[in-house]
Chain A
Amino acid sequence: MLDQLQFLIENLPHLIIGFPGQRPGGLVMSIILTIVGLGLGFFLAVPLALGQLASIAPVRWISRLLVDLFRGIPLILLLVLVFQVIGSGRFGFVLEPRGAAIISLTLYSAAYQAEILRAGFTALPQQLDEIGRMFGTSRWQRLWHIHIPTVFRTMRPALTGQTISLFKDTSVVIVVGMSELMMSARILLGNDVNNAPYWVGVYLTVGVLYFLAAYALSKYAQSIEQTNQILGRQTINTLP
C-alpha cells in the first residue's frame, strides 16, 4: 500500500506535465489539445454553420455533408483516417501524430460546434438584424459585429459543454501515439510485469485528473448559464 502511494507521488508530475526532457505531455497536453482543437474548430464551424443556412443549395449540401460526416464517425476512426490516409505522404506531406491529432480534433469539434452555432443563428432575433440595417451596416459588418458575438454569448453554455466533451475525447488520441494524459499513463506502466500492482492506482489517478478538470469546467458552465439567464431576460426587456 505504501509503495503504491510512493509510486504515485513520484510519478504524478509525469501524469500532469509529461516526462522530463521530452515535449510536454500528460494532463497539460490534453488541455492544450482541447484548446487548439476548439479554437481552430470554431473558425471552421462558423462557415459550416452559415453554409447550412445559405441560400445557394450546393453550399448547403456541402456544409451539411461535412458536418454529418465528422459527426457520424467515431473520433478514433477519424484520427486513424487522418493519420494513415491523409498524412501518409500520398498527398505530398507526412503527418506526425501531433499534427494528425490536431487536425482530427479540429474537424471533429468544428462539426459539433457548427451544429450549436447553427441553432444560435437560427434563433437570432430578427430585430437585431433590422437595427443593424438601420445604421447602414454591410452584411459582413452585421455578421462580425452583431451576429457572431450574440450567438457566441447565447450559445456559451452549449459551447462550454462541447469543450468538456472534447477534453474527454482527447483521451482517444492514444490511438495515433500522441503523448497526452492517457499515453503518459501507458508509458509510465510500460510492459514491466513488476508494475502490474500499480495499474489500478495509476488509472484511478488518471480518472481523478480527468474528473477534476471536467467537473470544474462543468461547474463553470453552470455559473455562466445562470448569469446568462439573468442577462437574457434583460436583453429581451430592453429590445424595442
Chain B
Amino acid sequence: MDSWLTADMIELLRSGLILTLLVTVITTIGAMVMGIAAGTASMLGGRFVQRIARIFIEIHRNIPALVLVIFWAFAVPNVFPQQVRQQLFFNNTFWDALSNGTGLALPYYFLAGTFGLMLNTSGYLAEIFRSGVNTVPAEQFESARTLGANRRVVFWQLMLPSGLTAAFPAISTRLIHNFKNCALLSLVAVPVFFHGIQTAISKTFRATEFLLLATLVYLILTALIAALLRYVETRLPMGGHHA
C-alpha cells in the first residue's frame, strides 16, 4: 500500500463510511415517514392541521440543511447555562451509555445533526409527495368517495401507493441529495466519512490523494444508491395508474 493510506487511515475512513451510511439510512426512513405524514396532513387535515403542516413544510424546505444542522447541534444546547448544558446534553448516564454503545465521542451532535438533516429532507419529500398525489386523477378520489371510503382507506389504498409511485423519480433525486448532505455533519464534529477525510488530511498533509479518494468513493456510492432506487422504483405498486 502507498505510504499515505496507512492502516490507521483506512480504519478512520471505514468507520466514517459506516457512520455516513447509518446517517443516510436513519434520515431516509425518518424523512420518508415525516414527509409523507406532513404532506398528507397538508392535504387531508382540518384547516388548523393543514396550516401547521404547510408552515412545517415551508420552513424546512426554505432553510438550508446546514443552518438546521448547526441550529439543533450547536445553538440549542446554548440556551442553557454552562452547568445545565453539560448535564443535559453531554455528561449523563444516557449519553454515556450511548457513547459506549456507538463509539461516538459526542452522541448529542450526532443525534441533533441527523435530526436537522431529517427535517430538511422531510420538508422536500412532503412537497414531492403532494405533487405526486396531485397527479392522481380527481375521478379516482370521487369514485372512492362514492364508494363510501373514509379518509383512512383513501390514504392507504389510493394516496400512498399512487402518490408514491408518481413521485418516485423526484423522491429518488432528493434522497441522493440527502445522502450527499450527510457530509455536512462533519461541520458539527460528527466523524462521518468526510470528517474522516479532513482528519486524515490534517494528519498526513496528503490533500490531493485523500480528496480524490473521497471523490471516487462518493461517485461509486451515488451510482450505487441511484441504481438501488431505480430497482425499488420497478418494484413499486402501480396503484391506480393502470386504470
Contact = CB atoms under 8 A, between A and B. Distances in A.
Does B bind A? yes
Interface of A: 68-69, 71-77, 80-81, 84-85, 88, 90, 164, 168-169, 171-172, 174-175, 182, 193, 196-197, 199-200, 202-204, 206-207, 210-211, 214-215, 218
Nearest to A215: B62
A74 B218 contact: yes
A200 B67 contact: no
Interface of B: 58-59, 61-68, 70-71, 74-76, 78-79, 82, 180-181, 183-184, 186-187, 194, 197-198, 201, 207-208, 211-212, 214-215, 218-219, 222-223
Contact of A203 (B70, B181, B212): B70
Given A168-B63, A200-B75, A218-B62, 6 more contacts: A74-B184, A81-B212, A169-B64, A182-B70, A196-B82, A211-B59
B222 A81 contact: no
Contact of B78 (A76, A197, A206, A207): A197
B191 to A, nearest CB: 15
A192 to B, nearest CB: 12
6 contacts: A73-B180, A85-B212, A200-B71, A200-B76, A203-B74, A210-B67
B42 to A, nearest CB: 16
Main secondary structure of the interface of B (DSSP, over half): helix
Contact of A72 (B65, B68, B186, B222): B222
Contacts of B181: 74
A203 B187 contact: no
Contact of B187 (A90, A174, A197): A174
B95 to A, nearest CB: 19
B122 to A, nearest CB: 16
B23 to A, nearest CB: 13
Those 7 A-B pairs whose CB atoms lie nearest each other, nearest first: A199-B78, A168-B64, A74-B180, A214-B62, A199-B75, A171-B64, A74-B183
A77 B79 contact: no
B187 A175 contact: yes
Given A85-B208, A182-B67, A210-B62, A74 B76 contact: no
B187 A210 contact: no
Nearest to A208: B63
Contacts of A210: 62-64, 67
A80 B195 CA distance: 12
Contacts of B65: 168
B219 A77 contact: no
Contacts of A175: 187
A47 B218 CA distance: 25
Contacts of B187: 76, 174-175
Contact of A77 (B59, B68, B211, B223): B211
